[in-house]
Structure 1
Amino acid sequence: MSQITAGRVLSREAYEQAIGTARAASSLYYGTGEAADAALDEAAEVTVLDDATYDQLVRDIAVTETEHPDWRVEASPTQVVGGDAGDVEHSAPMLSLDNVFSADELAEWHASLGKRLGRAPRYVVEPKLDGLALAARYQQGSLVQLITRGDGVHGEDVTFAAAAIAGLPQQLAQPLTLEVRGEVMLTDGQFTAANELRLANGDKPFVNPRNGVAGALRGSKDRTYVIPMTFFAYQVLALFGTPAGAGPNADSDYSAAIALLGELGVSTAATSPAQIAVVDTIEAAQEYIDSLLARRADLGFGIDGAVIKADSPADREQAGSSSRAPRWGIAFKFPADSRLTTLEEVIWQLGRTGVITPRARVKPVFVGGTTVTYATLHNPNDLARQGLMIGDTVMVLRAGEVIPRIEGAVVSARTGAEIPIEAPQMCPNCGSEIDRSQERWRCTRGRKCALPQSIRYAVARDCWDIESVGEKLVRQLVDNGLVTDVADVFTLTEEQLLTLERMGKTSAAKVLAEVEKAKTQPLARTLTALGVRGTGRSMSRRIARYFATMDAIQSADAAAFEEVDGIGPERAPVIVEELIELAPVIAKLREAGVSMTEPGATGRVVADENEAGEGGEAGEAGPSLPLTAESGKPMSVVVTGKMTGPLAELSRNEMNELIERAGGKSSGSVSKNTGLLVAAEEGSSKYTKAQTLGVPIESPEQFAERLEGFL
C-alpha cells in the first residue's frame, strides 16, 4: 500500500547533503522562512519537498546512521523534532512519532512493544492529522497561551491567533487548569475560503492546506483580514494547580482524557467524521486504518495516516521514549495523495457541452497509487488567479479516486526560466469566438461545436446504452449531417443508415433495435445523456427522483433545484439556464417517444401549507419502497466486492441506480448510519466493520430477492 521503500545506505557526501535537505524542508514546512534561507544554503539543489519524498529521505538517513553510527549529527531528523525553536519552553517535550508504512511494519512494531511490556496493550487508533502542532494552556478554564511545537523543547507564542481557531474555546466548560495539545489545520472549506481572501487582498494563494496553515497561523498577527482555522486535540496534560479529583491525571486512560476534552468543548478526532477506535488487537487496529483510508477523501480535512497509541498510562510509562519519539505510539503513513512535480504544458480542450478547459501535462509522478501525467486546472480564470507558469513546481493532488488536480505553484522554487501560460483567443476546436462571461469559458457554438463528444457520451452504457453506435459511426452520422443534436439519434431510419460506409441491413437493424430500446430508459438516464452542466450521473438520479417527471424538472426554478441534495445557490441557476437551452432537444426527445418519467418516483409531496404530506419530506422516497426506512427516509446502502447471481452483470453505476430506484441511497463507506451492506464475500474491511457496528449484511442473491420487481 505504501510508496515508501525500506531505505538505502547513502555515501558520506550524500548523507550530509540529505541532512541539509531535510533541515531546509522542515524549516519551510514549520518555520517562518527566515531559518529556511540559511538551511537552503546547504541544500541548494532542493528547495521544497512533498511529504512522501521527505519521508523517504528520512528513511534513507536512518538506514545510513544504523550502518554508520559515527556519522550521526545532532541536526539529523532522526534526533530532533522539525521546526524552529521559539522563546517559550514546553511544560514537557512535544515529541514526534516514528512512522511505519505497511501492515507488516505495524505488526513488527506491535510485537516489539508487546515484548517490552510483557503483554499486548490496548490501543487507541485515530487519524494522523495533517496540520501544525500546537499546545494550548488553560488557567482555571481560560485560554492563556498558544505555543507551536518548535523544536519540541521550545516553541513560538502564537496566542494572538487564538480568535481565528475553531475548536479551541476561549473558555472551557469547567474551570480546569491544563494543557491541550493537538493540530491546527485548514479544513477543505477553510482552505478554499482562505485563498479567496488572499487573492482578494492581492496575496498569493496557499499551495495546499498542509503548507498553508503555517502561513495562516503566523501571518495573522499583521494581516488585515482573518483566516479561520480549526483545531483538533490529541493530548491533554494536567498542570500544577488542578483541583484534586478534577480533570485528567496520571491515571487517566488516553481515551477517557479525549472524551473529557469533548465535554469541555474542545474539538477532537472523536467528535469529527473520522472518529477514533479503542481496540484490543493489532488486527482490529489495522481494520480501522483500512476504513480510515477508504474514507480519507470524504472527511473534509487533511490526514496523511493513522496514529496507534497505547491507551493505558501505565503502558506508556513502561514503554518510555527515545530522544525524539515515544515508544508507545506509532504513525501509520498512508500513500501520498499529493506530490510535487513540474508543469510541462497546458492543453486547452473542448468538453461535450462546448466548455473550454485547461488541462495540465506534468512530469510523470507516482501519487495516490498511480502514475499521474495529466491533471485538471479547473477553469481559465482560476488558472490566472493562481498565477501558474510553464516550468513551475506544482502540487498535484489525487485524493481518493478523484481526477488529479493542480493545487498551486511553489513560487519560491522558481528559477526565472518559467514561461507564462497563453490563453486561447479563439475556440481551439472550431476557431469560433469564446464566451468569457462566466468562470468556465465556452465556445459560442456551444454543444454544436462538441457534437461528436456529446453523442458518444449520450449513447454510452451509463446513459442510453446504445452499444452499436460506436465512435466511427458517430463520426459518420455527424459528418453526413444525419444528426445535429443528441435527439436526432432517435429519428434515424434504415434508409439513412444504409447510406453509410460498412452499414448493411443486419447492422442497421441492430442499431434501430437498440435505439428503440433506449426510449424506455428511465428519466435519470436521459437527464444524464443530455449532459446538463452542473450535473453528472449521481446528481441526475437525485434530480429525477426528486421531481419524477421531465415536465416538473423544466417547470422548476432555481429555488426548487436548491432543495435537491447537493445543489447549492451557485449550481441551481446554471441548471435552470441549461434546461432552457436544451428545451428544443427535450421537445424532440418527447416527440420521438423517449420516456420522460422516473420509475418508482412520485416527486415532491408537499402540502399547500408547505408541510410534508404522506410521502415524507420533500424529495424523500415513499415508505412503500423496499429500501425506504419507516421514517420515509432513504436507507443508506453500501456495496462491496464483485456482484454474483442476478446482479452479476450490473456495473457499479447500475447498482447505484438500482438502489436509488428502490428508494435507497448509495454510499461508499460503512458507518453507524449505514442501513445495509451488500457483500459478495466475507472478510473485507467493510464486512468486518459492518459486523462490529451491527449493520445488517446481505449477499447479492439476498439483495436481488429483496428488490424483486426492480431489476
Structure 2
Amino acid sequence: MERLDAEKQIRELQTIINQYNYEYHVLDKPSVPDAEYDRLMRELIELEEHYPEFRTPDSPTVRVGGAILDMFEKVEHRTPMLSLGNAFNDVDLRDFDRKVRQAVGDPFTYVCELKIDGLAVSLRYEDGLFVKGATRGDGTIGEDITANLRTIKSIPLRIKEPFTMEVRGEAYMPKRSFEALNKAKEERGEEPFANPRNAAAGSLRQLDPKIAASRNLDIFLYAIADLGETGVESHSEGLDLLDTLGFKTNKERQRCADIEEVIAYVEGWVERRPNLPYDIDGIVVKVDSLEQQERLGTTAKSPRWAIAYKFPAEEVVTILKDIMLTVGRTGAITPTAILEPVRVAGTTVQRATLHNEDLIRAKDIKLGDSVVVKKAGDIIPEIVNVLPEKRTGSEVEFTMPTHCPECGSELVRLEGEVALRCINPKCPAQIREGLIHFVSRNAMNIEGLGEKVISQLFAGDLVHDVADIYKLTHEQLIGMERMGEKSVSNLLKAIEGSKGNSLEKLLFGLGIRHVGAKAAKTLAQHFGSMDALQRADAEELTSINEVGGKMAESIVAYFEMEEAADLINELRSAGVNMEYKGPKPVTAAESDSFFAGKTIVLTGKLEQLSRNEAKEKIEALGGNVAGSVSKKTDLVIAGEDAGSKLAKAQDLGLEVWDEERMLEELNK
C-alpha cells in the first residue's frame, strides 16, 4: 500500500471508530455490531504498526494502553479543585438555602446532580485535543494519569470544537465491571476490592495503562473549570455545552426552583439509588447562575454556592443465624455474625463484624435474633442493635468457647485486653494468617499470592513459615488449582521482586506484636538495618519517639527468640533485603517549620488532604504525627466530625487547629 493511501485509510478508520466509541459509550446507542467494531480496530492497529508516523494522539488505538510508566508526575491545577461542604438532613439543606438567600437576594435556581462515588479528575484540552488528565490530589497539586484516562472510552480524545479548556469529572467503575473484576481476583486467590470506588482509584493509579484499559472504567463530566469565551452563563448551560462537545454527562440532573424541589429530588433518589448501574453516595446541589456563584464566592476549601447531601447509611432487618469464630495472626478470637442474606446499600450481606465478646454482651445479641444491620461508611456491615420485641423465646444465648476452635489450646484473656487469645505459637490458624499478612499490600506486597493461594500452599504442606515462600518452585506451583503457566511465572517474578523491598515492609510483614506499618517505618529509618535493630535493647528503643514500653518489650522478646533469629537468617540467605532504602527523615534541628519537633494528632475528616497526605507533609517538615492525644501532644488538627480526641484535647487545654490553619502553615 502506498504511504498516501495508508495515511488516508488510517484517518478514515480513526474517524469512524471514534464515532462508534461515542455512540456506544456516550450515547449508549451502538450503530454497528461488536464484531464489525473489532474488525475495524484490528485493521487500524495493523496499519498503524506498519506506518507509525500516521498514529495520532487521538487515535482510538491509544485506548488499549501504552508503555509502562516509571512514576506519576505532579500536575498543578490551573483552577483549584475544591471539595464540597456536607449536608446530612433537610435542616442542613435549608440552612444552606438560607445562607444563599441572604448573600444573593435575587431570585435563583438550583441544579441537582447525582454524586458519583468515584475518583475526581481534571481533563485538559488544547485546540480540542485531550493533552493531560490528573487526579484531584490536594486540590492544588494532582498526579498526571493521562495514559490511564485515555483508556476510558467515554472520554473524547478530540472534542467537536477546537476549544482550549479544562473540564472536571468523576471517573468510576460500573457495578458490572466491579463484579467481574472481583470475581477474577478471587479466582486468582487475590484480595477483592472493597467497593467500586476503591477499584476505580486503584485502576487509575496503575503504572501500567494496560491494567486500567482492562478494567472497563467510565466517567461523567460535571463542570467546565475555565469557561473562557464559551458564552456560558449558568452551570446547566455548561453541562449542555459538554454534551454538545461530545462529553458524557449524567442525564439524571434536574433544575430546581427552590429548596423544597431540591429536597423532593433528594428523597426520590434515596429510594431509587440501588437500581442504578453505578454507585452514588449523595446529591450535589449547586446555584445555577455563574454570576451568582461568583458573588457567593468560596472559602479556602469549598464553594459557598454548592453543597453535597450525603445519604444516610441504609439500615435493614434480618436474622442472626449463627456466630462464627476466627483466629487471627496474633491469636485473637474474633466473632462474626452469620446472617440471613439481605441487600444493604446495593450488595448482598451475609456476615457482619461483632468485634469481641463484650460487644455481644453490651448489645444483648442472641442466636436467632432479629437484628438491624447497616454498612459503616457504606462499606463494612455491622449490627446496629437487636429487636427484642421480635423474640419468640427460641433465641439462644451465645457463649464464647474456652478452647481455640483451630488447635484446641486453652484460650486466655491477657491483662488489659478485651479479646480472648490462643497463645499456642504452633496454632495452624495463626501461622496461616501470619503468611497472609506477610504477603499483603502494606507488607511485602506479593501480587498473586492472596489468601486463597496461601491457604492452598499451607494445606498442601508447601509453606510452614514466611521463609518457605522464597523456596517455592515452578514444579510445586504448576500443579495447583487455577495456576497456569502464566500465573506461575508472574507469581515467581512477584516473589523475586519482593526481595528488594525496603526494611520497613519486611518488619511489618513479620507481624511483631504492637509493631504496625508506621512503627515499622520509624524503626527502619532510625536503625537503618535489621542487624542494628536486632542488637537494640529496650532502653534504646524507648528513646525513639512513638516507641513505648509495651512495643519495646515486644520487639526485644521477638528478637530474643531462637526461632526469630533462624527465620531472619533464612530470609537473608534467600536474598531478602535487610536495609532501609527510603529517605532519611527530617529532624527538628534540620527544619525551621512550625511543626518541627512537635507531636501532632490528626482527628476527624479532612477535606483537602487525606489523613495520610497530611501526615506525610507534617513529617517531611520534622513533625511527629501520633495516634492518640496525651499531655505530650503539642497540637491537635481537627477536621469534620472530630470526636473523642478533640474532646480530650479541649479537656487538656491543648492547641487545636482546623484544616485551613494547617494548610496555611504547610504552604509557608
TM-score range, shorter chain: 0.3 to 0.5
Larger relative contact order, structure 1 or 2 (CA cutoff 8 Å, min sep 6): 2
Q: Give the TM-score, by structure 2 length.
A: 0.40
Q: Give the TM-score, by structure 1 length.
A: 0.38
